[in-house]
Amino acid sequence: MPKSSKKRLNTQVIPEPALEKRTRRQFKPEYKLRIIAAADACQHGELGALLRREKLYSNQLSAWRREYAQHGIAGLSKSAPGPMPSKTPDQRRIEQLEKETKRLQRKLEIANDCLDLQKKALSMLDHLRSGKDV
């Protein structure tokens, strides 16, 4: 028995901001420098409390210290996440074109082999029609 249209429930989906995907946190160089200074001023056992309060991980602090030691404040500036690409866009394009070239060459070889087979088959049929032995 079909359901009446009067009793339909509201089926509209309402997005909840709490369930939306989180974005990556971004820290300003000043904040990083302030946290490094606060971590250096911590006594034994206080570093964990600082990291929990700021919702940071120890590896973030280690990376920030390393960047600051190597490059100064400029090292704390925003950097792209993840490893550096091993190939330039031009190198990736060249590899893509070389792969495409190999694929097309293989396709051409197959087409040429098919033509050779057709020529041989036609030649054999001509010999059979003329009565000559192959």
pLDDT at residue 7 tops 70:
no
| Cα–Cα separations (whole angstroms), residue 13 to 3, 7, 20, 21, 23 | 21, 18, 13, 17, 22
**How sure is the predictor about 134, in pLDDT bands with cuts at 50, 70 and 90?**
very low
Q: Are 36 and 60 in contact (CB under 8 A)?
A: no
Q: How high is the mean pLDDT of the chain? A: 87
pLDDT: is 77 or 104 the higher one? 104
pLDDT at residue 2 tops 70:
no
Average pLDDT over residues 126-133: 80
% of the chain at pLDDT higher than 90: 58
Write out pLDDT tens, residues 62-102: 999 999 999 888 888 876 667 777 888 999 999 999 999 99
**How sure is the predictor about 25, in pLDDT bands with cuts at 50, 70 and 90?**
confident
Write out pLDDT tens, residues 39-70: 999 999 899 999 999 999 999 999 999 999 99
Amino acid at 43: Q
pLDDT at residue 112 tops 50:
yes
Is the whole model's pTM more than 0.85, yes or no?
Answer: no
Measured over the CA atoms of residue 49, residue 50, residue 56 and residue 58, the dihedral's sign is negative
